[in-house]
Amino acid sequence: MNVNRGAFRVAVAAVMFGVGGATGCTTDDDDPGVKTGGAGTSGGAGTTGGAGTGGNVGTGGMGGTGTSTAACVSPYAVPAGSPVVFDFDAYDGVSDLGKWSAPLGGDPAAGVYAGPFSYGDRATGFPETFNAVEGQASKYALRIADTLAEKYGGGMGTWLSGCLNATQFAGFSFWVKGNLPMGKGTLTVSMMETLSSTPAKAGDKVGTCTGTATTCVHPTYLFNVTDTWTKVQVPWSSFTAGSAAGTAVTPNGRNITQLQFGVGLNWVSDASGAYVPVPAPYELVVDTLAFY
């Protein structure tokens, strides 16, 4: 029997954990996982992933970093003519991805930087593989893979050194391909309104949600994944609303602090009636993160 996401959100979170390490307005106190960071110190948790077809559990993780300051004090208004957040093509091919960053949209004048992070259920807290590969009509795309995830899965994402105002756009887009246990991945958009106002640890970003990791929930979107490059466009209205201690939070491009892609395992009941993850390999590749 499959298990739905809601029934196991807390149980999955208890298995996972978070540590820090990047820069800017990107952390939160939500769910588990471990990331590689960018420049700077301290990280925070991401959000739990969404349920797949048939109610299978998907999980998320953490990412981002920064000093312990309030998120979105002065959001950066993304120009209508510069919708790209990150296309990874500035990567030099040799630097540690967990320590590399680049200007938002390739524009240093923006004053906002972005960097990749990853997390996974290996003993290290990372996926087996986190690297840059050939992109969709581009030099590089971001990839995570594991020959056998056994606890919850993994994920990756982009921390941001500043909070973004993208309300002038209709939604978010990206290219994706891979092979996932559920055939679906989870896109999570972290927002100031769904960041806890009580950080789990020193250095975590401070939001306005008065709840905890289980009640401050970021908006999510489930997307299909095949072995062929596919462009995904997600209108703000298509996201599942987040929650700020019971109050629904619907995204519209405001106060964005981090972007994250989660890979979840299927969960089934064993002979004792307990729900357990089904170990499986996975691969997820994403490219050209942008607003549209």
Strands 76-77 and 153-165: parallel
Question: For residue range 142-199, what is the model confidence (pLDDT) as tens digits?
Answer: 999 999 999 999 999 999 999 999 999 999 999 999 999 999 999 999 999 999 998 8
Q: What is the pLDDT of residue 147?
A: 98
Q: Which residue has the tokens 């559920």?
A: 182
Is 91 buried (19+), middle (13-18) or exposed (0-12) by CB count in 10 A?
A: middle
Mean pLDDT across 249-273:
97
Number of structural domains found in the chain? 1
Reduced to 3 states, what is the DSSP secondary structure of residue 31? coil
Query: pLDDT grade, residue 103 (50/70/90)?
Result: very high
Amino acid at 156: M
- What radius of gyration, in Å, describes the C-alpha atoms of the chain? 17
| Amino acid (1-letter code) at residue 220 | T
Pick from 202, 204, 183, 201: nearest CA to 50: 183
User: Is 90 exceeded by the pLDDT of residue 281?
Assistant: yes
Cα 183 to Cα 46, 82, 289: the distances in Å are 21, 31, 20
Backbone φ, ψ for residue 74 (5° rounding): -140, 85
Query: Domain containing 95 — which CATH number?
Result: 2.60.120.260
Tokens 């499959």 sit at which residue?
A: 2
For residue 12, pLDDT over 70 is answered with no
Q: Is 14 a residue whose pLDDT tops 50?
A: no
Average pLDDT over residues 79-95: 96
Return the SS3 of 149: strand
pLDDT (tens digit per residue) in 17-42: 333 333 333 333 333 333 333 333 33
Amino acid letter at 81?
Answer: G
120 vs 118: CA distance, rounded Å: 7
* CA 84 to mean position of chain CA atoms: 17
One-letter amino acid for residue 121 of the chain: D
Q: Which domain holds residue 92?
A: 5-291
Residue 181 Rama label (left phi>0; alpha psi -120 to 50; beta): alpha
What is the percent of the chain where pLDDT is above 70?
Answer: 76
By DSSP bridging, strand 184-191 and strand 220-224 are antiparallel
